[in-house]
């Protein structure tokens, strides 16, 4: 399911990240890769704070939409 619909506090594993561009590569570098565990810390107007590989990353809505768990 898309990460957008995941409630706060849930920890799930990433299934797929759409796109093939510079920003997707950047997400890959930060640890957003298939199989990685991601936790939703906070959500504000669709923008999310996610926990990935021990660090906390703020990501805008349009990118959150591309991540599937």
**Contact set with another protein (CB under 8 A):** 8-9, 17, 20, 22-31, 33-36, 41-45, 47, 49, 51-60, 62-63
Name the residue nearer to another protein (CB basis): 1 or 9: 9
- Are 22 and 53 in contact by the 8 Å Cβ rule? The answer is no
Give the containing element (helix H, strand E) for 61: helix 61-64
- Minimum CB–partner distance for residue 5 and another protein (Å): 16
- Minimum CB–partner distance for residue 13 and another protein (Å): 13
Name the residue nearer to another protein (CB basis): 12 or 49: 49
- Among the listed residues 9, 48, 8, the one whose alpha carbon sits nearest the alpha carbon of residue 32: 48
């Amino acid at each position: 399911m898309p990460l957008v619909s995941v409630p706060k506090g849930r920890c799930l594993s990433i299934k797929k990240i759409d796109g093939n561009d510079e920003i997707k590569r950047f997400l890959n570098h930060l640890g957003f890769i298939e199989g990685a565990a991601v936790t939703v810390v906070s959500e504000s107007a669709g923008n999310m704070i996610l926990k990935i590989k021990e660090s906390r990353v703020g990501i805008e809505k349009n990118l959150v939409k591309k991540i599937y768990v």
